[in-house]
């Protein structure tokens, strides 16, 4: 995984063939356009961005259907405008029928306690009418104050169902509740209407499913609209020179032969240039299918600068390790892997999804291995003499050892970031500054290990001091490019070095931030053990009903703990890569390479 080398392409062609050449470049799909006429491009951008919203809405409506019909590939078999109208009509009818069904369901819930009845006609009771109230039992004393005729129809554990007889609506103070508006429809009539609406909904759902066979022609129509919009923007951004025009953009260096071949076909002239020191090319990442998930996850937060390096590979492995340490349970990690496998078809629908699926499965695998080494299976630890107990070599309760392990991982992670920064700037003396930081961090860790007896004290202190002094010297001297040609320049250079070494507090804080790996892992394991203990206590207290309550405690507790562990692993695992690591490894943020590419097949 790396950042692809780019070249600036300037292509000049005949003005009469401008549209043909731009369409050929769009079909080639390897150019990130640079507008040469920014004013025209900005003026036409609103017009180009006007997409057919009805078609987009129709495609989104069909795309949410899980069961789909065999797709039709021939775009000539359907009129897109008629198809869009039919799809949107289906959507409107489904929404209307769902609203009607929901209202009927509410009416059914309101009528069910009253039972089956039909209201008599108004004239049959000399103008008297029935008024319905649902009165809580705790307020039943209010019935004694009613002067109008009334009857209790039904009573349950909470409410009494009262009918008051009156010519007009009784005063609102007659009972301490609002009257129930049951309507004139009987319960059986409402149930019949619900059944009819459900049948209509089934027909509409079937129609929607049948329409999914036209997803491909509809998506191609939208793609054609997007292609036309991008072609309009590209045409607006060219430089018009009368008889000829110029178009410019960034392209991968390995696409040079294809551009030359295109230029020969259309009789155009091309110029290839290497990026200058003042240029800011976009970043085009070359991701592998296996470990590209690291770059995809990193891309949510930051795109590396063109002249930096791509940390995607390292993030793939480091994020998986951090996630495993925070998850800290073999069974939780196995369940995560099963969930990802269950939804693998959804992940496989896109290239980015496939890479994230690979990342998730690798995270799950590393988590299972870590959980086995930590001896944690739903919060339980195998006995020492058992088979699984043989692999339990990590003691999460050994706080000192886990703190040292977390600090070691953090120091090595930041050392890699500084070493890669030095490698990218290897042609400049300032590359020695990140090497100095790497040495300073390593020396501090070795010195601490010597003081705590992790390694031989004399050896740790000696090499720790050597690395810290050497690293501090490199940071002080090479963190600034200020020339030392005068006494003032020397003083300012010394001040720059002092200012740079002051960042040691930031380095110390970033390294300690990796302690969250141990803390979150321990908290997750402790919470799982707590739920196990509560379930055991429930079973011990009530041998019969306690089994049910203990099972509910285990189920709900571990579901909650699993969700918290996954959320913590993703948030804090990515935080260590995006904030602490990037702070030392990537200086400037870039912007992604957007190819001028034809989307329609």
Please give the mean pLDDT across all residues of the chain.
Answer: 88
Residues 517 and 377 grouped into a single domain:
yes
* Single residue among 159, 183, 207 that ends a domain in this structure: 183
Is residue 430, in this structure, part of any structural domain at all?
Answer: yes
pLDDT band at 335 (very low <50, low <70, confident <90, very high): very high
DSSP state of 12: E
pLDDT band at 47 (very low <50, low <70, confident <90, very high): low
> What is the full DSSP assignment across 483-540?
---SHHHHHHHHHHHHHHHTTHHHHHHHHHHTTHHHHHHHHHHHHHHHHHHHHHHHHH
Q: What's the length of the chain?
A: 601
- CA 593 → CA 3, 221, 250, 291, 510, distances in Å? 11, 25, 9, 20, 31
Is residue 16, in this structure, part of any structural domain at all?
Answer: no
What share of the chain has pLDDT > 70, as a percent?
Answer: 97
List the beta strands (DSSP E) in 42-91: none
Q: How many domains does the chain have?
A: 2
Closest CA to 422 of 440, 435, 437: 435
Q: CB of 134 within 8 A of CB of 161?
A: yes
Q: CB of 31 within 8 A of CB of 596?
A: yes
How deeply is 462 buried, as exposed, middle or buried, from its count of CB atoms within 10 A (0-12, 13-18, 19+)? middle
SS3 453: coil
Give me the helix-helix angle, 312-327 and 545-575, nearest 10°.
150
Dihedral pair phi/psi, residue 273, rounded to 5°: -130, 140
* Digit-coded pLDDT (tens) for 408-423: 999 999 999 999 989 8
Is residue 8, in this structure, part of any structural domain at all?
Answer: no
Is residue 515, in this structure, part of any structural domain at all?
Answer: yes
Is residue 543, in this structure, part of any structural domain at all?
Answer: yes
In this prediction, residues 82-97 reach a mean pLDDT of: 95
Residues 179 and 316 grouped into a single domain:
no
* Digit-coded pLDDT (tens) for 179-230: 888 888 888 999 999 999 999 999 999 999 999 999 999 999 988 888 888 8
Residue in this structure with the two tokens 């103008």, named with its chain if needed: 127
Residue in this structure with the two tokens 């307020």, named with its chain if needed: 139
pLDDT band at 48 (very low <50, low <70, confident <90, very high): low
* Single residue among 158, 183, 208 that ends a domain in this structure: 183
Element (H, E) at 339: helix 330-342
Residue in this structure with the two tokens 């001028």, named with its chain if needed: 596
SS3 106: helix
List the beta strands (DSSP E) in 167-279: 179-180, 239-240, 244-252, 269-273
> What is the full DSSP assignment across 147-191?
-S-EEEEEE-SSEEEEEEEESSPPPTTSSSSPEE---S--HHHHH
* Digit-coded pLDDT (tens) for 549-579: 889 999 999 999 999 999 999 999 998 988 8
Q: In the numeric block, which tokens belong to residue 392?
A: 């339990």
In this prediction, residues 477-487 reach a mean pLDDT of: 77
CA–CA separation, 315 and 486 (whole Å): 45
* Single residue among 183, 216, 236 that ends a domain in this structure: 183
Tell me the residue range of the domain where 323 lies.
312-585
């Amino acid at each position: 995984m790396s950042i692809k080398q780019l070249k600036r392409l300037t292509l000049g062609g005949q003005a009469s063939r401008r549209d043909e050449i731009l369409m050929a470049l769009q079909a080639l799909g390897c150019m990130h356009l640079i507008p040469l006429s920014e004013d025209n491009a900005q003026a036409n951008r609103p017009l180009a961005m006007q997409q057919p919203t009805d078609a987009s809405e129709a495609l989104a409506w069909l795309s949410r259907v899980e069961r789909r019909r065999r797709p039709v590939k021939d775009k000539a078999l359907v009129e897109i405008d008629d198809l869009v109208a039919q799809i949107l009509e289906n959507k409107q009818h489904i929404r209307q029928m769902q609203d009607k069904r929901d209202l009927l369901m509410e009416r059914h819930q309101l009528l069910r306690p009253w039972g089956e009845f039909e209201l008599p006609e108004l004239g049959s009771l000399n103008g008297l009418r029935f008024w319905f109230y649902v009165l809580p039992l705790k307020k039943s004393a209010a019935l004694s104050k009613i002067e109008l005729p009334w009857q209790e129809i039904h009573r349950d554990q909470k409410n009494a169902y009262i009918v008051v007889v009156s010519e007009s609506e009784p005063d609102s103070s007659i009972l301490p509740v609002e009257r129930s508006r049951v309507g004139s429809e009987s319960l059986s009539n409402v149930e019949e209407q619900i059944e009819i609406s459900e049948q209509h909904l089934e027909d509409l759902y079937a129609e929607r499913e049948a329409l999914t066979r036209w997803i491909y022609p509809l998506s191609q129509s939208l793609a054609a609209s997007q292609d036309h919009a991008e072609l309009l923007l590209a045409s607006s951004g060219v430089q018009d020179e009368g008889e000829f025009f110029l178009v410019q953009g960034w392209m991968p260096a390995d696409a040079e032969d294809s551009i030359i071949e295109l230029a020969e076909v259309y009789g155009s002239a091309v110029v290839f240039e290497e990026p200058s020191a003042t240029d800011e090319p976009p970043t085009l990442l070359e991701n592998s299918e296996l470990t590209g998930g690291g770059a995809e996850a990193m891309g949510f937060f930051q795109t590396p600068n063109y002249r930096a390096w791509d940390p995607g590979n390292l993030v793939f492995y480091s994020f998986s390790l951090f996630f495993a340490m925070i998850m800290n349970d073999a069974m939780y990690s196995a369940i995560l892997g099963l969930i990802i496998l269950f939804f693998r078809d959804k992940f496989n629908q896109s290239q980015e999804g496939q890479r994230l699926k690979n990342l998730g499965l690798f995270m799950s695998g590393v988590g299972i291995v870590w959980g086995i080494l930590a001896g944690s299976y739903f919060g339980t630890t195998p006995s020492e003499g058992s088979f699984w107990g043989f692999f339990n070599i990590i003691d999460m309760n050994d706080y000192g050892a886990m703190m040292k392990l977390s600090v070691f991982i953090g120091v090595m992670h930041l050392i890699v970031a500084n070493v890669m920064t030095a490698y990218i700037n290897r042609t400049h003396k300032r590359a020695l500054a990140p090497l100095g930081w790497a040495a300073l961090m390593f020396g501090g860790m070795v010195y601490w290990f010597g003081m705590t007896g992790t390694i031989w004290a004399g050896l740790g202190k000696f090499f720790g001091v050597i690395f810290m002094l050497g690293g501090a010297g490199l940071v002080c001297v090479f963190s600034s490019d200020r020339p030392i040609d005068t006494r003032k320049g020397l003083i300012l250079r010394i001040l720059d070095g002092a200012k740079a070494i002051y960042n040691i507090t930031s380095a110390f804080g970033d390294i300690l931030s990796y302690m969250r790996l141990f803390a979150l892992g321990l908290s997750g394991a402790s919470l799982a053990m707590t739920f196990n203990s509560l379930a055991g206590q429930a079973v011990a207290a009530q041998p019969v009903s306690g089994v049910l309550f203990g099972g509910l405690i285990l189920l709900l507790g571990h579901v909650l703990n699993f969700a918290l562990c996954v959320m913590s692993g993703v948030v804090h695992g990515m935080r260590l890569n995006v904030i602490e690591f990037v702070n030392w490894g990537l200086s400037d943020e870039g912007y992604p390479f957007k190819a001028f590419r034809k989307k329609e097949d």
